[in-house]
Amino acid sequence: MAHKVANKRDKMESISIKNLHFGYDKKSMILNDISLSVREGEFVGILGANGSGKSTLIKNILGFLSPQKGQINILGKPIRDYDIKSLASLMGFVPQKSAINAPLLVRDFLLMGRYSGLGAFGDYGSGDRAEVESVARDLDIYEFLGRDVLSLSGGEFQRVLLGRALLKSPKILLLDEPTSALDMSYALELLRLCEGLLGRGIAIVAVLHDLHLAALFCTRLILLKDGAIYAQGSPKELFNPTILEAVYGLACKVVYDDGIPFVLPIKSLK
């Protein structure tokens, strides 16, 4: 009897990390023996206490930092085999905040997201400007195109940062604490927008502090402790008092609402 062929193809491995070690000097390693993978269509949360290595891990994936040991593959290819522009075209990045402090129209700021697609002597064309307007409509920031980025609220500017990242048409979206300065309504809105991208096959990796948001949006979590992976799994698997006490030093109880685990702190053990 012939084997039944699966209707859905296996999802591509967008990020693969094996035995990664990183430190700014040989005496103090920040990341220790990190191995993980992220597939297309996954929303993976990186969680852990302050100083556990979350943002450093993101910077290694982006290629901003180079590990002392181990390997990072992006879409099946070693990261070292990409040039800067090619790598930038594959990955969109939304930081916690931007260092911009000069007047710049939102339209021009968004156009920066098209830079990696320009040729050596290229300039932005009508197609680039049309893409800016399309993304701006999708993210409900079209009305901001003629405004100075410095005039935007925190939530508005985070949507603009997301728009700039999406204008690369990335295969991977990395977010480093994108909701830390936002109130709950803006934080929910931003992560809903990101969640809506999963159907396009984009892999999303987000450093998050808010456990509730992680439970609501992440399909899988990676918990870091002292620069190493303490546990990986779904929010239901990892949100239990024993694991959270070990990772955060937090006494808590976990309750469920509509099948989603929510963490209720009791007291800090530190």
Rounded CA gap, 130 and 103, in Å? 23
pLDDT digits (tens, 9 = 90+) for 24-62: 887 789 999 999 999 999 999 999 999 999 999 999 999
**Sole residue written with tokens 């809506």:** 196
Whether 79 shows a pLDDT value over 70: the answer reads yes
Contact indicator for 38, 205 with CB cutoff of 8 Å: yes
C-alpha to C-alpha distance for 9 and 12, rounded to whole angstroms: 9
Q: Is the pLDDT of residue 255 over 90?
A: yes
pLDDT tens digits, 113-143? 876 656 544 677 778 889 999 999 989 899 9
Instruction: Please state, for a pLDDT cut of 90, what percent of the chain lies above it.
Output: 67
Please state the pTM of the whole predicted model: 0.88
Q: For residue 262, how far is the Cα from the chain centroid? A: 22
Give the relative orientation of helices 184-195 and 154-166 as an angle to the nearest 10 degrees.
Answer: 10
